[in-house]
Amino acid sequence: MTPALFLVPAALGGEPVQVLPAPTIEAVRALRDFAVENAKSARAFLTALGMPCPVRELRIMRIGEDADALLSPLRAGRSVGVISEAGCPAVADPGQALVAAAHAAGFRVVPLVGPSSILLALMASGLEGQRFAFRGYLPRDARDRAQRIRALERISRESQETQIFIETPYRNDALLAALLECCALTTRLCVAVDLTLASEEVASRSIAQWRRAATPIGRRPAVFLLLA
């Protein structure tokens, strides 16, 4: 089989075998070389998938190393799996530079099916699903963050485009408070928390409704979606 760079979605939490499709698991089990964001969590992920060989015998390379070194197994005729910390590699996670290098070198790139918190949140939000933009992290500074929220709300209103962003879990509640303070009462806000886990919660309401019923998110993985 022609060697390829396989983009492996890691579980967002919980047991990977309960989330990933069987063909994805089968494809990963056939690999012996991996480029990963975090070696420790990648080994735990691969162990949970029931690799047919001891995990210590796998070649684990860290994303961020020289691209030539990461692509060396491909040049030797072996496929490589790319694993980020959680979710899909190269989508709000490291890996895009390696994917670009693989394309430039003429290697096949294969995205495997698995969870993407961004798309899962959009699916469950009830917001505009044909026009949307992922904005990554908003500014940490309170004043800059407020300006950015107002700018994104204006873009959303003018283009009827859902704005999607994320935050470091310990700043979730500060971001929620800023959204409730800055946005118009009629703007719709969805917060999707702990996606794919038993504790999953997705709430989609107007800002006016959020102000009457807002509860702390806490330090849990969350995706925020806004439609003005």
CATH number of the domain that 8 lies in?
Answer: 3.40.1010.10
Final residue before a domain boundary, out of 59, 83, 111: 111
- What is residue 13's DSSP assignment? S
- Hey, is 183 helix, strand or coil? coil
Q: What backbone torsions phi and psi does residue 142 show, to the nearest 5 degrees?
A: -60, -45
Per-residue pLDDT, 76: 95
* Per-residue model confidence (pLDDT) at position 86: 85
* Distance from C-alpha of 191 to C-alpha of 216, rounded to nearest angstrom: 11
Same domain flag for 178 and 202: yes
Regarding whether 144 and 63 lie in a shared domain, the answer is: no
Residue 225 β-bridge partners? 164, 190
Note whether 75 and 135 are same-domain residues: no
- Domain enclosing residue 159, as ranges: 117-227
Are 147 and 215 contained in the same domain?
Answer: yes
Q: Looking at 111, 143, 163, which one is the last position of a domain?
A: 111
Which CATH number fits the domain that encloses residue 215? 3.30.950.10
Instruction: Tell me which DSSP letter residue 87 carries.
Output: B
Check residue 142 and give its pLDDT.
Answer: 95
pTM of the entire predicted model: 0.90
Q: Are residues 45 and 95 in the same domain?
A: yes
Residue 97 to residue 86: CA distance in whole angstroms:
18
Q: Which residue has the tokens 């996606």?
A: 195
Instruction: Report how many domains make up the chain.
Output: 2
Would you call 160 helix, strand, or coil by DSSP?
coil
Last residue of a domain, one of 63, 87, 111: 111
Based on the domain organization, do 71 and 145 belong to the same domain?
no
Q: What is the pLDDT along the chain (228 residues), one digit of tens a residue?
A: 789 999 999 989 888 998 999 999 999 999 999 999 999 999 999 999 999 999 999 999 999 878 889 999 999 999 999 998 888 999 988 899 999 999 999 999 999 999 999 999 999 999 999 999 999 999 999 999 999 999 999 999 999 999 999 999 999 999 999 999 999 999 999 999 999 999 999 999 999 999 998 889 999 999 999 999
Is 106 found in the same domain as 174? no
Strand arrangement of the beta sheet that strand 33-36 belongs to:
59-62, 33-36, 80-83, 4-8, 108-111
**Residues 124 and 223 placed together within one structural domain of the fold:** yes
Do 121 and 223 sit in the same domain of this protein? yes
> Is residue 125 within 8 Å of 151, Cβ to Cβ?
no
Using an 8 Å Cβ cutoff, are 11 and 196 in contact? yes
